Structure 1
Amino acid sequence: MTPAGFSPRSRSVAVAGALAAGFALLALVGPFIVPHDPLAVDLAQRFEAPNLVHLLGTDHLGRDILSRLIAGARTTLGSVLVVLALVLALGVSVGGLAGMLGGRIDAALMRLCDVFLTVPTFVLALFMIGALGTGLVNVVAAIVLSHWAWYARIVRGLVLESKARDYVLAARIAGAPARAIFAEHVLPGIVPPLAALATLDIGHMALHVAGLSFLGLGVQPPTPEWGVMINDARAFFWTRPLLVVWPGLAIALAVLAFNRLGDALRDRLDPTLVAGRGL
């Protein structure tokens, strides 16, 4: 019989946590530990197989693949971190305002959210990029604008639930201003479920960043980014498939790790919260 502390479920969470921590560490210190310059072109060493000098080989321009993967972790996951910070800030602001004030303000803000929620997020992101233009900054803005409404809806629901609790009612009866009630009594209670949701969304948003970069709408070559690496390698897929496999594997592992970690956080912090939504 497997001990409770070492159940298959616990092991999968531990593995996911280790992978997520590894990717986060690479994003933080990766550019300082790369074995080679990820931008250095050496046509004499193009398409080298994995060896002791280039552990994962080189690409069509002779650039070290491992170095580009490590440097790309900061670009991809760093972009996701910025997106999440902006989405949370906007979602908490709009959802908190709607939930705390109610009435016509609540109705107007929720109708605005409905407008953004009627279109699938990836399609809306493509539309935003079409309006804003290509580039990493515009991709971040597009993903934020296509995701904030869902977070605002969730925050509003959590705020309405918190407002019905006794300690919040007591603060309102005591005459505390709405801003103080939100900051001191409501916000601490909604942080745990929001943390679980944000962790679940890291993989989802990483796919957005990499997917848009793959389409040539996000990060532009020669900047190392996983989606850009796949786009660069697709012309050589049948002759050099590993050029596509390595960045694809990095994306897959990152998405799986953060999704599993987010599931575990959701189950621990708020088992009743439904995290799925249409793409």
Structure 2
Amino acid sequence: MRLSESLKATRTGLGPFAVPVAVALVILLLALLGPLAAPHDPLAVNLTVRFAPSSLVHPLGTDHLGRDILSRLITGAQTTLGAVAAALALVVALGLGVGALSGMIGGRTDAVLMRLCDVFLTVPTFVLALFLIGAFGTGLVNVIAAIALSHWAWYARIVRGLVLELKTRDYVLAARIAGASPAAVFIEHVLAGVLPPLAALATLDVGHMALHVAGLSFLGLGVQPPTAEWGVMINEARTFFWTRPLLVVWPGLAIAVAVLAFNQLGDALRDRLDPTLVAERGL
């Protein structure tokens, strides 16, 4: 039994994903724990130990204000991924609502909503986010709103396509013939087929949105110092790059590892949740 399960895991692609998935789960755990997992206060300034090298007390050293880098990285994970989670929740809600409405009703409603999506999709997401922050103002809440508004259209199109395919299934047609309303048909018969691919897509987007949050914070438009956040840490350390390059390397490495890990986690979820892919593999 164990051998067959191992072979099945390998065939479904989870074998190569085991390490990045484990890393993603560790990052999520650290983000959930936040300051509780940090060995020191991430905001505590101690100029007597500024630029301290790696040691047992400070495993990754300290920054220009004597703050523990490891503690700031751990707390920064909570800030960055918390913002990503909030943005994704808004994106999924908007995309699911607009896509479901467009796909289930069709007609002029579908045409108007899809043209609206086309308007948002014509502009690169980061550029659109910058424009929206310029309109809304800086700050973490506005960054979350800008990221959500610059990403929802793609989700709406995905949901619409899934709804158009699913609503032609026999059991859905039977429910409509029986007199069920479009809302009832969607909730009872279509939603279950939409959520799994949407969950995989959202997981794949975690790394992309983490780059947006960190990038906007680096530019001074998102999280503001002294709050611990990976983009803020890079921005604060860039002045000392040529003398203390590790101050930039550590948060940059954290961003890179998180992006790669969540991309792999999204791939693993897609392989597990995509019924077409599973059927093709004969599982």
**TM-score in same-fold range (> 0.5):** yes
Aligned with residue 26 of structure 2, among 19, 22, 30: 22
Structure 1: gaps of 5 or more residues: 274-279
Q: CA deviation at 1:263?
A: 1.3
Deviates more, 1:59-68 or 1:23-32: 23-32
Render the CA deviation track for 1:5-62: whole Å, top value 9, x for unaligned: 6859544311111111101101111211211110011111100000111111000000
Aligned with residue 161 of structure 1, among 147, 162, 165: 165
State TM-score, norm by structure 1. Answer: 0.94
Q: Are 1:53 and 2:57 counterparts?
A: yes
Q: Are 1:147 and 2:151 counterparts?
A: yes
Render the CA deviation track for 1:91-112: whole Å, top value 9, x for unaligned: 0000100001000011111111
Amino acid at match of 2:141: V
Aligned runs of 1:79-158 on 2, under 5 Å?
79-158=83-162
What corresponds to 2:280 in structure 1? none
Aligned with residue 41 of structure 1, among 42, 45, 49: 45
What corresponds to 1:4 in structure 2? 7
Q: CA deviation at 1:271?
A: 7.3
Aligned with residue 259 of structure 1, among 257, 260, 263: 263
What corresponds to 2:246 in structure 1? 242
Matched residues in 2 for 1:4 and 1:188: separation?
Answer: 28
Q: Secondary structure at the match of 1:191?
A: helix
What corresponds to 1:269 in structure 2? 273
Deviates more, 1:6-15 or 1:37-46: 6-15
Aligned CA distance change for structure 1 residues 10 and 152 (closer, same or farther; 3 Å): closer
Q: CA deviation at 1:272?
A: 6.2
Q: CA deviation at 1:267?
A: 2.6
Matched residues in 2 for 1:162 and 1:75: separation?
Answer: 38
Amino acid at match of 2:252: G
Aligned CA distance change for structure 1 residues 169 and 271 (closer, same or farther; 3 Å): closer
Runs in 1 of length 4+ with deviation above 2 angstroms?
3-12, 267-273
Q: CA deviation at 1:169?
A: 0.2
What corresponds to 1:62 in structure 2? 66
Render the CA deviation track for 1:241-261: whole Å, top value 9, x for unaligned: 110111111111110001011
Q: Secondary structure at the match of 1:81?
A: helix
Matched residues in 2 for 1:54 and 1:111: separation?
Answer: 54
Q: CA deviation at 1:138?
A: 0.5
Alpha-carbon RMSD across the aligned residues, in angstroms, is: 1.5
Amino acid at match of 1:25: L
Render the CA deviation track for 1:207-240: whole Å, top value 9, x for unaligned: 0000110111110000000010011111111111
Matched residues in 1 for 2:42 and 2:245: separation?
Answer: 20
What corresponds to 1:277 in structure 2? none
Aligned CA distance change for structure 1 residues 271 and 187 (closer, same or farther; 3 Å): closer
What corresponds to 1:210 in structure 2? 214
Aligned with residue 182 of structure 2, among 161, 178, 181: 178
Matched residues in 1 for 2:57 and 2:9: separation?
Answer: 39
Identical-pair percentage: 76
What corresponds to 1:276 in structure 2? none
Amino acid at match of 2:119: V
Matched residues in 2 for 1:17 and 1:118: separation?
Answer: 33
In the alignment, is the contact (CA less than 8 A) between 2:14 and 2:268 conserved in 1? no
State TM-score, norm by structure 2. Answer: 0.93
Q: Are 1:230 and 2:234 counterparts?
A: yes
